[in-house]
């Protein structure tokens, strides 16, 4: 009867209230420098301590520059202070830290899985809305605010209501270079930016089952862009194979017991859902966003839509505003939109498979003369693996910049950002106004599509570029 979500939730209830809220045990917490300083400060002021330092892992990612001089210095005073504060707080509390020059440093949602600490059936939080990424392992993983970061530091628990359950079934074989990013952009376009509000979304179906962990993480990463705090996928042999042997995965002596436990987690066949949606992936096209909400995604063969054709007045007003901000005219073909910058990176698309997909397009081609293109690996380990595979050379020879790991140009908190009016083909997750820098214009797409835009100087259909 119960769903994957319900099974995990049930085993984490420490105490329950009559109103349906429950005190849930939180197995693990990831910590980064932006949303944690006030939480540690709150603890100190109240004279409290960290209850289970061994259940936490800290990493600086949002503020870190992605250029080599960061090994010696960070010029921005506030960024430097936030990173120093994280170091002080982590070391002071005995919390594990992957510091800025540690080879394991990287984007928090990438290094967690990579280390093996994200395991099926756990509850895990981070002061970051993209924590849902980790639901790809069959976990309850969700973003929280700083007050809840503090609550978990102090108590290892959180009070939580029961979200409604939605299942999104994706069937059909993806036709390469159509990618998991295209799946999730299409899902968000279908259910809307608030279609998942109040829900935990379980992704299921043949397409998801065949996806790698990297692809599943891309899908779960963007569930928050559909409004849902939780995205999750049933664990299976692909999950177990990914985890086996990682440094923080269950050791050999406990491995079989862990796998036996994990196999009990998938939703029962007769589980009930409050809502279901389906997507046929077999005819899916590469997707691109045209507006300032992730729901504004269209197949790349399409054109900028006309707000005046929209019957709903508030949606019409929103679309008009989005087009004004984006500097676009209705009817313009998406492939006629020139780009200034290309960003391949972020917690959505900076894992090894993403870099392979982009490198396959970049290889033997040249970045367009009008374009500055960045590739930012999601972690030091991804970077090392990419270099072992020669992907860095393919990028550099094509004219891409090969950077050090961090959040980079996803969010305008570090030196990598757009200038006002600049237009970017980006593999990140948010095309909000000003997200990549004040006045910057973002078009979301997959790594292969972003590489195709880089070599074309405009948004391009990767299938035509590589034909």
Partner 1 sequence: MIEKFVPLNAVGVPLDRGNVDTDAIIPARYLKTLKRTGLGAGLFFAWRYDAGGSSLPDFPLNRPEFRGGKVLVAGENFGCGSSREHAVWALMDFGFRAVIAPSFGDIFHNNCLKNGLLPVTLPAAEVRSLIDALLAAPGAKVAVDLPAQTVTGPGGDIHAFRIDPFAKKCLLEGLDEIALTLASAEEIDRYERERKKATPWLFLDLAG
> 15-44: which residues touch partner 1 (CB under 8 A)?
15, 17, 19, 21, 23, 25, 27-28, 34-35, 37-38, 41-42
Site for partner 1 in 110-129 (CB under 8 A): 117, 119, 121-122, 127-129
Complex with partner 1: residue 19 or 270, whichever CB lies closer? 19
Mark residues 198-217: x for contact with partner 1 by CB under 8 A, - for none: x-------------------
Residue 405: CB minimum distance to partner 1, A: 18
Size of the residue set binding partner 1 (CB under 8 A) = 88
The interface mask with partner 1, positions 149-178, x = CB under 8 A, is -xx--xxxx-x-x-----------------
- Neighbouring-strand partners of residue 201: 166, 231
Residue from 50, 95, 191, 344 binding partner 1 (CB under 8 A): 95
Residue placing its CB nearer to partner 1 in the complex, 39 or 452: 39
Encoding tokens for residue 245? 């042997």
Task: Taking the CA atoms of 225, 291, 349 and 109 in sequence, report the sign of the dihedral they define.
Answer: negative
Of 181-189, 231-239, 247-255, 354-362, the segment contacting partner 1 by CB under 8 A is 247-255
User: 146 — alpha (psi -120 to 50), left (phi > 0) or beta?
Assistant: alpha
| Helix (H/G/I), strand (E/B), else coil: 75 | coil
Work out the angle at residue 433's Cα, subtended by the Cα atoms of residues 432 and 438, and round it to the nearest 5 degrees: 130
**Beta bridge pairs of residue 278:** 169
Q: Distance between terminal CA atoms of the chain?
A: 48
How far is C-alpha 380 from the geometric centre of its chain's CA atoms? 17
Q: Does 70 bind partner 1 (CB under 8 A)?
A: no
* Site membership for partner 1, residue 193 (CB under 8 A): yes
Closer by beta carbon to partner 1, 215 or else 380: 380
Q: In the complex, what is the shortest distance from the CB of residue 177 to partner 1, in angstroms, rounded to a whole number?
A: 28
Give whichever of 66 and 456 is closer to partner 1, judged by the CB atom.
66
Q: Report whether the peptide linkage leading into residue 463 is cis, meaning its omega lies within 30 degrees of zero.
A: no
Please tell me the distance from the alpha carbon of residue 304 to that of residue 9, in angstroms, as a whole number.
43
Residue 300-319 contact track with partner 1, rule CB under 8 A, x = bound:
--------------xx-xx-
Query: Strand locations in 172-274, DSSP E?
Result: 199-204, 230-232
Question: Which of 57, 136, 326, 350 touches partner 1 by CB under 8 A?
Answer: 57
Q: Give the number of other CB atoms < 10 A from CB of residue 246.
A: 15
Q: Which is nearer to partner 1, 172 or 192 (CB)?
A: 192
| Nearer residue to partner 1 within complex by CB, 159 or 303 | 159
What does the alpha-carbon distance between residue 401 and residue 396 come to, in Å, rounded to a whole number? 6
Closest approach of Cβ 182 to partner 1, in Å? 21
CB of residue 74 vs partner 1: minimum separation in angstroms? 12
What letter does residue 351 receive in the DSSP assignment? S
φ/ψ of residue 426, rounded to 5: -130, 140
Distance CA(285)–CA(340), nearest Å, equals: 24
Least distance between partner 1 and beta carbon 185 (Å):
16
Among 4, 185, 228, 394, binds partner 1 (CB under 8 A): 228
Q: Which stretch binds partner 1 (CB under 8 A): 169-177, 224-232, 342-350, 394-402?
A: 224-232
- Residue of the chain from 60, 65, 135, 143 that contacts partner 1 (CB under 8 A): 143
Q: Which of 172, 301, 415, 434 binds partner 1 (CB under 8 A)?
A: 434
Q: Which stretch binds partner 1 (CB under 8 A): 144-152, 271-279, 346-354, 360-368?
A: 144-152
CB of 319 to partner 1, least distance (A): 11
The partner residues of 372 in beta bridges, in order of sequence, read 341
85 binds partner 1 (CB under 8 A): yes
Residues constituting the chain: 467
Residue 144: both structure tokens together: 């929280």
Residue in 48, 210, 263, 333 binding partner 1, rule: CB under 8 A: 48
Stretch in the footprint of partner 1 (CB under 8 A) among 50-58, 281-289, 300-308, 333-341: 50-58
The β-bridge relationship of strands 22-25 and 157-160 is antiparallel
The packing angle between helices 391-398 and 352-362, to 10°, is: 40
Residue 241: C-alpha distances to residues 56, 233, 235, 236, 293 (Å): 24, 15, 10, 9, 36
Nearest to 406 by CA among 132, 62, 74, 58: 62
Q: Which of 207, 267, 293, 379 binds partner 1 (CB under 8 A)?
A: 293
- Annotate each residue in 391-420 with x if it binds partner 1 (CB under 8 A) or - if it does not, as one string: --------------------xxx------x
**Do 132 and 219 touch, CB atoms closer than 8 A?**
no
Report the C-alpha gap between 231 and 220 in whole angstroms: 5
């Amino acid at each position: 009867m119960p769903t994957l979500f319900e099974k995990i939730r049930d085993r984490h209830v420490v105490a329950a209230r009559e109103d349906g809220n429950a005190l849930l045990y939180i197995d693990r917490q990831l910590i980064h420098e932006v949303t944690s300083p006030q939480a540690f400060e709150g603890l100190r002021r109240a004279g409290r301590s960290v209850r289970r330092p061994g259940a936490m892992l800290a990493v600086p990612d949002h503020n870190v520059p992605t250029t080599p001089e960061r090994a010696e210095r960070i010029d921005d005073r506030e960024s430097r202070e936030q990173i120093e504060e994280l170091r002080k707080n982590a070391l002071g509390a005995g919390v594990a830290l992957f510091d800025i020059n540690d080879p394991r440093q990287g984007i928090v949602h990438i290094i967690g899985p990579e280390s093996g600490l994200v395991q099926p059936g756990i509850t895990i939080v981070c002061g970051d809305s993209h924590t849902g990424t980790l639901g790809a392992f069959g976990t309850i993983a969700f973003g929280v605010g700083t007050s809840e970061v503090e609550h978990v530091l102090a108590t290892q628990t959180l009070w939580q209501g029961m979200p409604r359950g939605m299942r999104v079934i994706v069937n059909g074989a993806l036709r390469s270079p159509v990618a998991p990013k295209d799946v999730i952009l299409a899902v968000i376009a279908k259910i809307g930016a608030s279609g998942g509000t109040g829900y935990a979304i379980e992704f299921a179906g043949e397409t998801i089952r065949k996806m790698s962990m990297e692809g599943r993480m891309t899908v779960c990463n963007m569930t928050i862009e559909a409004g849902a705090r939780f995205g999750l996928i049933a664990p299976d042999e692909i999950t177990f194979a990914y985890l086996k042997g990682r440094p923080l995965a269950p050791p050999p002596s406990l491995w079989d017991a862990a796998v036996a436990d994990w196999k009990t987690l998938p939703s029962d066949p007769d589980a009930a859902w409050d809502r279901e949606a389906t997507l046929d992936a077999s005819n899916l096209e590469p997707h691109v966003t045209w507006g300032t909400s992730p729901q504004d995604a269209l197949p790349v063969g399409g054109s900028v839509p006309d707000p005046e054709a929209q019957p709903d007045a508030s949606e019409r007003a929103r679309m008009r505003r989005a087009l004004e901000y984006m500097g676009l005219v209705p009817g313009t073909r998406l492939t006629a939109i020139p780009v200034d910058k290309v960003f391949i990176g972020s917690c959505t698309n900076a894992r090894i498979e993403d870099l392979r997909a982009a490198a396959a397009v970049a290889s033997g081609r040249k970045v367009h003369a009008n374009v500055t293109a960045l590739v930012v690996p999601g972690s030091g380990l991804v970077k090392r693996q990419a270099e072992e595979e020669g992907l860095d050379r393919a990028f550099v020879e094509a004219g891409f910049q090969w950077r050090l790991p961090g959040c980079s140009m996803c969010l305008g908190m570090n030196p990598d950002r757009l200038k006002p009016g600049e237009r970017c083909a980006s593999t990140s997750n948010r095309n909000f106004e000003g997200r990549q820098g004040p006045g910057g214009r973002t078009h979301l797409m997959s790594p292969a599509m972003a590489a195709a835009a880089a070599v074309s100087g405009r948004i391009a259909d990767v299938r035509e570029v590589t034909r």
